[in-house]
Amino acid sequence: MAEPSKDTQQPPADPANAPAASSSSAAADGSSSAPASGGKKQPMTVLVIGMAGSGKTTLMQRINSYLHTEQKPAYIVNLDPAVSHMGYSANIDIRDTVDYKEVMKQYNLGPNGGIMTALNLFTTKFDQVLGFVEKRAESVDYILVDTPGQIEIFTWSASGAIITDAIASSLPTCVAYVIDTPRTTAPATFMSNMLYACSILYKTRLPFILVFNKVDVEPCDFAKEWMADFEKFQAALEERGRDENGENYMNSLMSSMSLVLDEFYNNLRAVGVSAMTGEGMKELFEAVESCRKEYEEPELDRLKADKEAKAAAAKQGHLERMLKDMGVKDKPKNPFGPHVRNDRADALFDDEGGDADERDPEEEEAIRRQMELEEEAEHHMTLGAGDIVEDDIIQVDPQSRS
């Protein structure tokens, strides 16, 4: 791509003086998120994505004011170069950096291409944007990102992937996929919208919330029901698919796709909201917090795996010390060493000339333990340290050796 001209692109504006969310007040009064292990909890990034007109920008405004009343400050990033009116001020606004109309002129593009290219140009500076966001991460609870309605940015464009990967590798992040509920009541439209959501989920691989917006106009119960009960959705699909002659033109592809979606619903949460009235904000933020947990789980798994590896190493050291103390590693001194297991008892009895019935129970027990320990020592030598399983180690009781 040609180097963007100075007319169309400047470095992202330093948002230090941007008049967005009054972030420091709540942090100062201690009402922000609870600190985790001495430090402040990282802010959660919410990427607001959805089709044109689904209500993303209005929802951003609503969320911003909700967070203000909750005294949980937000940091706002606007990635829509074509937005004409926002009911809030963004800390970082793509419009301060790229003029998409100028991009249209210079690259001879239509509005859609202009918006996409403007975002692509902006993405080349996204490391700077991330730098600004990270600087403010200490003092805010949420980072809200508004995006253009050109949803294909997040399904196939490189800039979408660069943006989501950059943010998500730095901060806990989730996608709020906004759906225009009144326009989704037809089963085929609903399915098409869900397929979009599905492809964004698989492209971003981030915790995901389906946000059914505009519930002041149309409640989203029908959608939740279709998501919960696959058969009801199929029935609706068949019902609506009948033409005036009563023939059903919904083909088996539709049915198979709805089966795919059934699997997809397992991976997400759905909430009904109204960006207009503010209904459902609490539920939305409960979903966001559950996304935070989902995002953090792999990290927890890693910590758990670390802990288990350390415990295994400690047990191994313990075992080695015991084996050393007992001298079982020293094969020549080991009375059972030269014999294969099945011959051991006989070899011992032959040496001592004893009879099995006359054996001292304590001695027999000592022999049995010694055999077990030796077997473990051999097993240990053939396995790597990481292969030692708990059962191998637990069987060794140092008390019983004395």
Ligand X SMILES: Nc1nc2c(ncn2[C@@H]2O[C@H](COP(=O)(O)OP(=O)(O)OP(=O)(O)O)[C@@H](O)[C@H]2O)c(=O)[nH]1
State yes or no: residue 213 binds Mg ion (CB under 5 A).
Answer: no
Beta carbons of 45 and 167 less than 8 angstroms apart: yes
Q: Which tokens belong to 268? A: 């997400």
Beta carbon nearer to ligand X, 123 or 274: 274
Contacts of 8 by beta carbon, 8 Å cutoff, 6+ apart: 98, 99, 102, 103, 106, 118, 121
State yes or no: residue 172 binds ligand X (CB under 6 A).
Answer: no
Beta carbon nearer to Mg ion, 57 or 120: 57
Q: Which tokens belong to 277? A: 């009235």
Beta carbon nearer to ligand X, 42 or 54: 54
- Looking only at the bridges linking them, the beta strands covering 208-213 and 142-146 are unpaired
Q: Pick from Mg ion, ligand X, none: which does 294 bind, CB < 5 to 8 A by kind?
A: none
* Residues of this chain, 275-294, that bind ligand X according to CB under 6 A: 275-276
Q: Pick from Mg ion, ligand X, none: which does 52 bind, CB < 5 to 8 A by kind?
A: ligand X
Contact window for Mg ion (CB under 5 A) among 18-26, 34-42, 50-58, 378-386 = 50-58
The footprint of ligand X on this chain (CB under 6 A) covers a number of residues equal to 18
Beta carbon nearer to ligand X, 83 or 92: 83
Q: Pick from Mg ion, ligand X, none: which does 43 bind, CB < 5 to 8 A by kind?
A: none
State yes or no: residue 150 binds Mg ion (CB under 5 A).
Answer: no
* Residues of this chain, 238-277, that bind ligand X according to CB under 6 A: 274-276
User: φ, ψ for residue 254 (rounded to 5)?
Assistant: -60, -45
Beta carbon nearer to ligand X, 15 or 149: 149
Q: How far is the CB of 56 from Mg ion (least distance, A)?
A: 5
Beta carbon nearer to ligand X, 276 or 367: 276
User: In the set 9, 63, 80, 153, which binds ligand X (CB under 6 A)?
Assistant: 80
Binding mask 43-62 for ligand X (x = CB under 6 A): -------x-xxxxxxx----
Q: How far is the CB of 210 from ligand X (least distance, A)?
A: 15
Torsion of CA 134, 136, 138, 139, to 10 degrees: -160
State yes or no: residue 314 binds ligand X (CB under 6 A).
Answer: no
Contact window for Mg ion (CB under 5 A) among 16-24, 48-56, 124-132, 215-223 = 48-56
**Residue of closest CB approach to ligand X:** 149
Q: Which tokens belong to 101? A: 């109309």
State yes or no: residue 72 binds ligand X (CB under 6 A).
Answer: no
State yes or no: residue 57 binds Mg ion (CB under 5 A).
Answer: yes
State yes or no: residue 64 binds Mg ion (CB under 5 A).
Answer: no
Name 77's bridge partners: 92, 145
Other Cβ atoms less than 10 A from the Cβ of 36: the count is 10
Q: Pick from ligand X, Mg ion, none: which does 117 bind, CB < 5 to 8 A by kind?
A: none
State yes or no: residue 193 binds ligand X (CB under 6 A).
Answer: no
Beta carbon nearer to ligand X, 55 or 73: 55
Binding site for Mg ion (CB under 5 A): 56-57
Binding site for ligand X (CB under 6 A): 50, 52-58, 80, 83, 149, 213-214, 216-217, 274-276
